[in-house]
A and B are shown apart, each in its own frame.
Chain A
Amino acid sequence: MSIDLSLIWAGIIGFGVIMYVLMDGFDLGLGILFPFAPDEESRDVMMNSVAPVWDGNETWLVLGGAGLLGAFPLVYSVFLPALYIGVFLMLAGLIFRGISFEFRFKSKKNRRWWNRAFCWGSAIATFAQGAVVGAYIQGFAVEDFRYVGGALDWLTPFTVLTGLGLMAGYALLGSTWLILKSEGHVQQWAYKITPKLLLAVLVVFGIVSLWTPIISPEVMERWLTKIHIIGILPLLALACAGVLYRSVKRQQEGLPFVATLGLFIFTYLGLIASKWPVIVPPNYTIWDAASAPESQLFLLIGMLFVIPIVLAYTAWTYWVFRGKVKVGEGYH
């Protein structure tokens, strides 16, 4: 057939994943930073800066999950059983932090508890997502299109590291977002913590880069044969890190966040380039994992209709809520 639907779908899912990581990343990151904020006023600013957009950000998670079942059911039916406990923890975390967005502002006597729910929910959900990335790099025990491994195969020293790494990464997205959206002492605090978070991210980035070829022979081989192409991506990521560091030192407001986005995007592309076209490692490609072409086509029609609308709506929301969030500004 002339059009490779699986390829189109890989593009859609890949786009959805990075949209989710970048957008939910900074609001999860603010949750992780929540207990370290200098005062309750700053916490109000932090939450206000993402309150209007966070649930739109999570749209991409659900859209991606549903899209996987429709387009690459093997991913859905291997990843979810393999990550059974992790998926539960992630959902529980997302639910708790979601509900604390709603009730923290409506609550005075119990605000402390909603703060805790927001922080722990964000931290657990992020750790679980980072561990998923690590588990994807590790690969899964699959026989005859079915997961045959144990309940905690996904939890290894490597995935704990990727989990902690993503927590540092989301916190970095959160702090640079806060630089963009705040002013005064809140912004100064964000400037202060950003280099430390960047350092943590780079340390994990380095260890994971050295560790990955050891646990994944396929990646090792890919890197050895195609290093002149793939090597560009981590270099670009490091360049972004350099720009980020310099812009924070110069107290620029927009560039730190943009540079962090770049850092994430190039790392993500590096990961894809190392694995492509394998989607259920170590053995199954996007074509093995695909649903029937007529099913992919049936769903594609709806997606092509709705994705531009969701994008337009997202852009409009961010436009409406552009500008600084001020201390004491009412958000209800």
Chain B
Amino acid sequence: MELDPLLLSRLQFAFVVSFHAIFPVFTIGLASYIALLHGLFYKTENPAWDRLALFWTKVFAVVFGMGVVSGIVMSFQFGTNWSNFAYATSNFLGPVLSYEVVTAFFLEAAFLGVLLFGRNKVPEGVHLFAAIMVAVGTFISSFWILSANSWMQTPAGFELIDGRFHITSWMEALFNPSFWYRFVHMGMASFLTGGFVVAGVSAWFLLRKRDVEANKKALSMCLWLLLILAPAQAVVGDFHGLNTLEHQPMKVAAMEGNWETQTNVPLLLFAIPDQDAQANRFEIGIPNLASLILTHRADGEVPGLNAAPAEEQPPVMIVFWAFRVMVGLGLLMIAVALTGLFLRRKGRVYENPLFLKTLTFMIISPFLAVLGGWVVTESGRAPWLVYGVMTHAEGLTPSLTGGMALFTLIGYIAVYSVVFLTGIYYLTRVVRNGMKETQTEVEGEVGRPKRPFSAAHTPFDDDLEGANA
């Protein structure tokens, strides 16, 4: 069998970026939450806020550490597997991605150390300021990354000279047509992720009657947040979809599983798209609804996939179903948030075991929804790497063979399996250890460490009970 370096490189990129994405998505939301907890403690001096802040900072430290490690791999991927793309786009992507690195280092150097290790060493006001700056920093970091991605989706502010992109307007390029939609959609996704994780972990503690007072506060806050954010995200997602319809109609056609440009398009709930036949093999839909959502008229015309030649269509099956995973989970999140409101009015929100258990299971949902969303937007622009200008095949490293790509794909899967399963295993130990303070934290730091992980003192493999090494 001939190994295809293009397919293998795409699989490798999808693998490493998906693995990487789950960490920052969580830390962006969590950083803001920690800043809020510090603010509440500063204002009310209620020690429950301080305990929550300390606990979630430990979790933040481990997740941030894993995000940095997996991020290093990302910064080399463009060169190793997509060197033609890297060379052609370097005038824009080089500075933008570098600015992300610069932001991250500035953040780590200046404020992360104070947040992680400055407790009881700097005034509470300074500590609060550091927490806010870390939260702001995570947003600036994501600004650069999302600007780079959006520019690839909706390139702007450039001219092509000898096959290379030259920037004519930095403002147009950075704030390209899809940027703000993506930025807001992603920022809210990060908040939803942080919200559901904190809610789920708090529910897990409440089920075990541990630190009831603090966890009730945390759960209550999260449920209010989710009640606002989950429905709002659906609205933002709709605006994002309309923007995509304008700039990348083939992506929307794939999301809807719509092959012919036509009016009165139904919203498909289920279908098996068949790319070879250029039709759906089986479908169940709600009449006119897709037209109504996309054009705000029941008889509105929606572009179909066959407007593009078959080789310029995205992989419909993947985009169609990834979209349904994202939207389905989004609707589930809204339902859970509304259930929370209902139970709160009945006064049973902290006691109902079924609801608390559901919340624990919901921890995974925002991560899956985020990955689903990224699969939609990334697969949906295929075959374009820079939309309308450069295809995946054109961007590939010319010297790359299938064997090389297979070697590193297997290699990255092996390395990530060991390292990140270890990391996630450790994270669950930190969480299960909960808000018990270890000996070291009571006595104060001995070694004044500066690395993120060392903010967590939970032992890796010894028994948790009574082990304070």
Residues of A near any B CB (own CB < 8 A): 48, 51-53, 55-56, 58-59, 61-63, 65-67, 69-71, 73-74, 76-82, 84-85, 87-88, 91-92, 94-96, 98-99, 101-103, 106-110, 145-151, 291-292, 294-295, 298-299, 302-303, 305-306, 309-310, 313, 317, 320-321, 329-332
Contacts and interface: CB of A to CB of B under 8 A. Distances in A.
Given A52-B451, A80-B83, A306-B106, 7 more contacts: A51-B451, A69-B78, A76-B87, A77-B90, A85-B408, A146-B399, A147-B397
B401 interface: yes
A106 B468 CA distance: 10
A306 B102 contact: yes
Interface of B is mostly: helix
Interface residues of B, number: 66
A72 B78 CA distance: 14
Interface core residue of B100, B399, B401, B458 (most chain A CB under 10 Å): B399
Contacts of A80: 76, 79-80, 83, 86
Contacts of B403: 151
B462 A109 contact: yes
Given A69-B97, A84-B400, A107-B461, A310 B109 contact: yes
B307 interface: no
A51 B447 CA distance: 10
Interface of A is mostly: helix
A292 to B, nearest CB: 5
A92 B450 CA distance: 23
A329 B69 CA distance: 28
A62 B72 contact: yes
B79 A108 contact: no
A58 B65 CA distance: 13
Contacts of A332: 440, 445-447, 449, 454, 457
A66 B72 CA distance: 10
B449 A81 contact: no
A146 B398 contact: yes
Interface string B417-428: 011001100100
Closest 6 CB pairs of A and B: A80-B79, A73-B90, A70-B94, A77-B87, A106-B460, A107-B460
Contacts of A151: 399, 401, 403-404
A186 B157 CA distance: 60
Given A63-B101, A65-B75, A108-B462, A96 B415 contact: yes
Interface string B295-322: 0000000000000000000000000000
A329 to B, nearest CB: 8
B98 interface: yes
21 contacts: A61-B72, A69-B79, A73-B86, A73-B90, A77-B87, A77-B90, A84-B399, A88-B407, A106-B460, A106-B469, A149-B399, A151-B403, A292-B91, A299-B98, A299-B99, A306-B106, A309-B109, A309-B110, A317-B450, A329-B446, A332-B454
B453 interface: yes
B419 A76 contact: no
Contact of B404 (A55, A84, A94, A145): A84
B188 interface: no
A81 to B, nearest CB: 4
Nearest to B458: A106
A91 B73 contact: yes
A96 to B, nearest CB: 7
